[in-house]
Each structure stands twice: as C-alpha cells, then as structure tokens.
Structure 1
Amino acid sequence: MSSLQLVSQSDPTTIDHLVFGLDSAGALWPLRKQYTKLWWNNMPNVTMRGCVFVDTLPHEQNGNSDGSLPPLCVSQDTSQFPYTYPGGLRSAIRQTRTVKETVALNHSGVRWYVFGDDDTIFFPHNLVKTLSKYDHNLWYYVGYRSENYDAAQVFGFEMAFGGGGFAITSSLAQVFAKVLDSCIQRYPHLYGADARVYSCMTELGVGLTHEPGFHQVDLRGNIFGLLAAHPLTPLVSLHHPQHTDPIFPSMTTEKALQHLFEAVNVDSERVLQQTVCYEKRLSWTISVSWGYAVQVFQNNMLLPDVLRVQRTFRQWLQGNVLKGIYNFNIRELHPDLCERPTIFYLDKVSSGKDAIISSYKKHFQNCSYKEPMSKLEVIKVVTNKLDLDFKQTPRRHCCDVLPSNASDLMEIAIRECNYEELIYMN
C-alpha cells in the first residue's frame, strides 16, 4: 500500500491511543524485562497501556509497581489448536492469540494495537509519529519484513515479522479477533505466530503497509553497518539485542541501549538519521548517524556508495548462499583497516535554548592514522530538533563542516538542504 489517508491535524494520535500486546514466557520474562524497561513509560506525563502475555507467572514478583513495566497476563489455554510444524514450539499458537486477548482487554479510546516480543525495543515517540500518518478508522496492518532475504523468501515478503513488531488499527483488530480462532485451525503447519497473523490477514484481504523503521534484526554480531545507514524514516523498533554485539563498544548490551536512549530522549525523530557532507580541503567524506556515530572516510566517496549498508555483521543462519543475501544494498568492508572509515561514537548530547549539541569520541583502531586524522579526537554536531512532516516526501538533510583552529576538534552543523542543493563530493 502506498497511498496514505492522513489524519486530521486537529485530532492527532498520541501514545494514549495505543495498546501493546507483548509475548513472553514465565521462564523468560525475568531475563528479558530489562529490554522492555528501556522504553515502557519513558515519555513524560503518560501512562502506557497493554500487557505482557506469559504461559505462567514467573516465581518472582512482577516488580512494576512504579509503572516501569507493563502488567503480566496469563494466556488462555490453546491445547485444542493443532500444531504440526516439525521441531517448532506450540507457544506459537499462544502467541498468535495475543492479538485476540489484547483486544479482549477492552481498553477505551484505542486507535492502534501494537504487538512485539519481550526482546523488542520500541521507540514510542517515533512509533506514534509513524502511525499518525494513517487514518486509524481504516484497516491497516503495519510493519516490515526481515533483513534476511532467505527468511523473507520462506515466510513472506509481505509479512510483518513479529520481533520487529507490527501495528493493527482498532477497527481491523476488532474484526481480526473474531475470526482468528477459526483461521488458526487452517495453519498447523506454520512455524511462528507472525506467519499465522499474516495468513489470517491475507484471508481478510488486508495487505501489509511497509514501514522500514521496524527492524527484525535477523543478524548476528556487530550491527553497526545496519544502524549507521538507517533509511529516511524514524527508528521504530530494534529486536534480538541478545544475539548482537553491544551497539557501543566497551559497554554491556543494556548500558549501550541506555546510552542510545540518552539521544532518543533529546531528539527521538533524528536518531540514526544519516547525513553526509564533504570536507573539501582534506577530501574527506563524513557520514553522521545522529545520536549514534560519525564516520570519517579519508577520501572522496560518491553518495550512493556511502548510503549502502556496510557488512559489519554475520548472517543469522549458516547454510546456502541465500542465507547471506539481504534485502538492502551491501557494501563490503575494505580488507585494509586503514582504508576503512574512522568511527567516532556518541559521547554525550545536550539540548540548549538555541540548538542541540552532540559530541562523538574517536574509537581506537589498530591502524596508523594519516595526518591530520591522528590528531582529531572529538566531533561536535549542532542541530535543531527534528519534526518530520509526513505530508511531504522525506528529504535527507545537509551538513557543513565549520571552520576551526583546533586540530583535535571538528564541528559540523546539520540543516535542511536548500531548494536546489545537491549533496556531492568535490
């Protein structure tokens, strides 16, 4: 679906209009709840609604009396539903019915139901911004496919992968909940809950509305390349943090995600948005992935090459060649470390009266830096708060390298591009 039914600006969608249904298990929740705590109720002056569905309550207390976690709900029995996928888990049936049981919570004023796993990290402001593009009175099934071509080929290019999360308008969810149980009976051969939701949506005649800000992250290892080349859309979700390296070096996974949220809490819409500029005097190409990292290539690079995803990660599953093919453009890492970009990771971010300033510190590489890169230690980026207007086609911002007499500091200003301005190397 490409056409958008825009919602009246006089009645904007807010986080209060969303209800979440998250899938977990009694044995897993004590280990996974740290991921949900990162984003649950992290917006000021709001109380989020929803439930974490488990098979049995964990032995420990829920520990969410302060509102830092959603309540736990015990799923209904699903023993009457057939499940024949070889080597699969029957919990997929229970997780499929999370949609039905979330609707049955009977919350008032719901526009969207949002579903994910216990290791799905949502970015609530960006989620609301993304869903606000669509008329909640109509039927919408919103999400995105896997990064992995083989997974999308097996399960569906038009299926919203559940770990990345997906959203269903309330009007659609009410109907979907009524027909779900009869539909589940026809798909005992499928692997997961998201495949059953997709199949039942197909029976209702509803197609997927693709939003690439939802990230399944069917990848392993260092996902720097994926994050540093984010598409021109807000970051909505990340998945599988326990299967990837910490996104910032020298930190635990949890601390690294908390560090990212320091930038999210200042300017959520700009996080990971990639801006590229060229330093004419030194012939450097500079790529800013705001709130995360700055890459400095010590040579001129054509813009389309900079925007390709660097293959810093490993494939999700070993096997045939298809398992190493991805649903985005790949750029292989240069075999010579000295020919790779120098990376500056986010150090701190602050919001002032006139601007937002983020600083990035150079990450050590086992390479002899060329002059003057050897002296450069910190890059400061100056921006204004981003407020995307989806009535217009998103356009990448421009940036300027500001004059400086300090050899250890570079300052960059990000701004909207001029009407006919091009981003190109000199």
Structure 2
Amino acid sequence: MSQTRSETSHDSFKSSKFFSFPEKLSKIFVVFMRLGLLFCLVASVLLALHSASLIRRRWPSFPERLSPSFPERLSRNASDQKSVPTNISHLLFGLAGTVHTWRDRSRYSELWWHPNATRGFVWLDEKPDTKVSRPGFWVPYRVSGDWTWFTRSQSAVRISRIVLESFKIGLPNVRWFVMGDDDTVFFTENLVSALASYDHNQMYYIGGNSESVEQNARHAYDMAFGGGGFAISYPLAAQLVKVFDGCLDRYYNFYGSDERVCACVNEIGVPLTRLRGFHQFDIRGDPYGILAAHPQAPLLSLHHLDYLEPIFPNQTQIESVKSLMDSYRVDPTRILQQSFCYNHRRKWSVSIAWGYTIQIYTSFLTASALQRPLLTFKTWRTGEDGPFTFDTRPVSSDPCEQPVTYFLDKVQEVGKSGTVTTYRRYVANQGKNCDTADHARAMAVQSIRVSSMKMDPKHWKKVGNLKLFI
C-alpha cells in the first residue's frame, strides 16, 4: 500500500511537472503583467505631479474659494490679536521708487515720516549710492527682489510685488499694508483714524479713484489708484501672496502696477472700499479749487504735486506742503474741512477751508454752489475742463463775481482743545479789477481770524453730519 502510494505520488509528481508547466508560466506572466501595470501607474502619477508642479510655477491656478473656517484659522495666526485700537505702529508703508527719483522726492516723505514711529520702506530698483545721498534720508530703503523672470512690463511688476515683499518680511503687529509712490504725501493720523473704523481681521482693499473721468475710463472705476495710496488688510495680503506672481503674469497686458493689484484682488472676490480723502490728483494746473472745497472726508493723501502749481502762492511746492502740515499737526481731523457762513448785513458769502484758505463773495451763494470746487485745474491727459468725477463751477471772467481770497498765515493752539488761525488777503496779478463799493469793502479786510475747537476724529463715525460750523 505504501509502495503503491509512493509510486502514485511519484507518478503524480512527474505528471504534474510535465503537464502543468504552461499553467505555471501563465501565472508568472500574469504576475509580471501586474507589476508592469503598477509600475506604469506609479510612473504616470509621478509624471503628472511633476508636470503640474512645472505648470504651477509658471501659471498658478486661480484662487480657490475660501472655506468658512478660513477667517478663524487666519485670525489665530494674524500679526496682532490684541484688542488695542489701531495706531501708527500697525501700519506698514511700502513706497514705490527708483534710485533716480528718490533723491528729490524723498523731500516729500520727510515732511510726514516720523523715524521713531512710522514703519515701512521705500522699494528701489537698485542699491543707491550712499555717498551722494542727501542728509536726513529718514525713510529706510530696500531693493526689490528678482522680478526679471517676468517677460513684460517689468517695472510695473516690480512695483506690484511690493505688496508681496512687504508681507514676506514678516514684521510683527502689522494690520494694514499701505502702498504709495515716493512722491505721495500721507496724513498719517487721519489715515490711522480712517483705517481704525474697519475690522483689520477681515479682508479689505481701501483706496480712491482718479479725479479725471478719462483716467477711470482708461483703467478702472473699481480700482484704487496707487499714487493716491491704498491699504490692504493683513488677511487679504496673506491670501494675495499665495497667488500673486501667477496672477501678475496673467495680466501682463495691464498698464500699471495698481491695475494689476486690483485685478488680483478681484480674483479673490474683494471689492474696493472707497475713501474720498485719498487724492490721486490726476489733474494739471492749480489744485486750489479742490482743496478749497474739500469733500466731507478726512484728508488722507496728496499725489502728483510736482506736476501742479504750489498749494500756497509765492512758495515752492515743498514749502507749501510744509505750511499745510503746520496747521494739520495742530488739528489733523479739521484740516481743509469746509465751513460756510453769511454776513447778512453786507450780503457776503464766506467759505472757509480750515488751515488753508478763506473766500469772501460779495453776494449770496447757495451752499450747493460753494461746495462745488472752482475750476482752477484741467484733466490729466488731455488738459481739458473735464469731465471730472465731481461737479465743478467755472471761474467767472467778471472780477466782481470772483472771490476775495485769503491764505493761511498763522496757526495757534489755545489751551488743550482750541485753535486760532489767521488768514491774510492775497492779491493776484490780474488785468481787470472790480470797482464796485461792495467789492472795495471786502478788499479792505486785510486779515481774518478764525477761532475753533479741535475736531474729534470720531466725527467721521457719526451719521448725518452735514457741514462743520466754526
């Protein structure tokens, strides 16, 4: 039995070995096929990932929609989570400049930059020669990072990337990134008060349009013009840096840096929040008309001053800005705010732009007329009389209908909450004079003193305020 089993087993083995070989070969072939397919699958996945990585480097995808929990996650990692009110230390300025323009334009920055308080940098295209730099070079500079891999409009790309590079510095306690040009004059106390009205833990894009309709139509109405300055909240900047370079590449055909920043902000879905106190000053000529009838808003910035006549007569532009700054520092909130009053006995209309100018008209003008700026300026590109984004009124050719004009001469503080400003009459060189008795009485007034209380910054938060009466 055992022998039989042994023989049977042996025969069975021989039979299995002889007749089952093709079946074993088939199994080995199947194993190799499966391994081959697995190898191909892994290789395909790796190749796809590598290709996607290359694509992202050159052409980043459009931003994904934010998940509901994004604000909470970001707020835990934001730069400043203390409940203290926003102050100047929470703003980081990024000024766009070049080594060729900064030497002269830095004079404007030195009028508003406080070395021990203001934070930020002017971003230059190359390292300046410190041997020829002027003394008093207060604003620290940085040289922009490599932007040459962008093949088109490299200067606009460099300036656009100031937002990204400012964020990547990683300074602590930044709530707002404020962008401007090297010739932008900021009124920082008003800017701080204005930005403090918004929740810096949310995504905000805050700025102003151009004064000239032709400029807005050429570029965009929903864009913050960069020379006038704009502010980006920390959470929005954090989202922008994720997609910025690819976004800039997508909009290579756009003209300016501010237009590109606006396009990238729009992709994230954040609209422009307009503040009327940002002044791009896309105008030519004399800015007097706008400044003498400033809109009901805090003065935040002035731009393009080198292309305009001096703010004050018989002064250089730098001297003019310094004169305006002298009154601004006494009462920042009230600077340029317009007030109306009437002398019923003499039938005079009086318009006061605090800290700057006074106009006396020898007739009654309505408030709606007085608050429309005199057309002392032209459009930026074509040098025409408009259109502008606000109403204007022409300067009459009749000297009897023109105002008797006064400019700030002196500003004084009275106690802790009062001020006295003095304005002296200005006589322009003009061919024709008004010979009426009413006009002669107005011309006899050589100076005007205005007493006022300092204006509370919280005024701008109140609803329904009309004009400020002094």
CA distance in 2, matches of 1:374, 1:362: 8
Cα contact 1:140–1:206 (8 A) shared by 2: yes
Matched, 1:332 2:332: no
Cα contact 2:399–2:434 (8 A) shared by 1: no
Matched, 1:301 2:365: yes
Unpaired stretches in structure 1, ≥5 consecutive residues: 1-7, 84-88, 400-413, 415-426
Secondary structure of the structure 1 residue equivalent to 2:165: helix
TM-score, normalised with respect to structure 1: 0.86
Cα contact 2:103–2:134 (8 A) shared by 1: no
Cα contact 2:204–2:233 (8 A) shared by 1: yes
Cα contact 1:20–1:115 (8 A) shared by 2: yes
Larger radius of gyration: 2
Structure 1 counterpart of 2:92, which letter? V
CA distance in 1, matches of 2:234, 2:131: 31
C-alpha distance 239-61 of structure 1, shift in aligned 2 (>3 A): farther
TM-score, normalised with respect to structure 2: 0.78
**Overall identity of the aligned pairs, in %:** 38
After TM superposition, the structure 1 = structure 2 runs for residues 216-255 of structure 1, keeping only pairs within 5 Å, are: 216-255=280-319
Cα contact 1:149–1:327 (8 A) shared by 2: yes
Structure 1 counterpart of 2:310, which letter? P
**Matching residue of 1:105:** 169
C-alpha distance 105-394 of structure 1, shift in aligned 2 (>3 A): farther
After TM superposition, the structure 1 = structure 2 runs for residues 54-93 of structure 1, keeping only pairs within 5 Å, are: 54-61=124-131, 69-83=138-152, 90-93=154-157
Deviation at residue 352 of structure 1 after TM alignment? 1.4
Q: Structure 2 residue aligned with 1:177, among 241, 266, 270?
A: 241
Q: Per residue, is there more strand in 1 or in 2?
A: 1
After TM superposition, the structure 1 = structure 2 runs for residues 16-415 of structure 1, keeping only pairs within 5 Å, are: 16-41=89-114, 46-61=116-131, 69-83=138-152, 90-318=154-382, 324-353=386-415, 355-365=418-428, 366=430, 367-368=433-434, 370-389=439-458, 390-393=460-463, 395-399=465-469, 414=470
CA distance in 2, matches of 1:161, 1:183: 19
Deviation at residue 69 of structure 1 after TM alignment? 2.0
Deviation at residue 338 of structure 1 after TM alignment? 2.7
Deviation at residue 215 of structure 1 after TM alignment? 0.4
CA distance in 2, matches of 1:63, 1:178: 36
Cα contact 1:62–1:72 (8 A) shared by 2: no
C-alpha distance 81-394 of structure 1, shift in aligned 2 (>3 A): farther
Secondary structure of the structure 1 residue equivalent to 2:266: helix
Cα contact 2:324–2:356 (8 A) shared by 1: yes
Cα contact 1:284–1:298 (8 A) shared by 2: yes
Cα contact 1:62–1:71 (8 A) shared by 2: no
CA distance in 1, matches of 2:258, 2:83: 34
CA distance in 1, matches of 2:135, 2:239: 33
CA distance in 2, matches of 1:32, 1:171: 31
Cα contact 1:275–1:289 (8 A) shared by 2: yes
1:240-273 alpha-carbon deviations (Å, 9 max, x no partner) = 0100000000000100110010101100110000
Structure 2 counterpart of 1:395, which letter? N
CA distance in 2, matches of 1:129, 1:169: 15
After TM superposition, the structure 1 = structure 2 runs for residues 412-423 of structure 1, keeping only pairs within 5 Å, are: 414=470
CA distance in 2, matches of 1:78, 1:95: 10
Cα contact 2:404–2:443 (8 A) shared by 1: no
Structure 2 counterpart of 1:217, which letter? F
Cα contact 1:241–1:253 (8 A) shared by 2: yes
Cα contact 1:29–1:58 (8 A) shared by 2: no
CA distance in 1, matches of 2:332, 2:261: 30
Deviation at residue 61 of structure 1 after TM alignment? 4.7
Q: Per residue, is there more helix in 1 or in 2?
A: 2
Cα contact 2:223–2:258 (8 A) shared by 1: yes
C-alpha distance 147-307 of structure 1, shift in aligned 2 (>3 A): same
Secondary structure of the structure 2 residue equivalent to 1:217: coil
Structure 1 counterpart of 2:421, which letter? S
Q: What number of residue pairs does the alignment pair up?
A: 382
Deviation at residue 9 of structure 1 after TM alignment? 12
Unpaired stretches in structure 2, ≥5 consecutive residues: 1-80
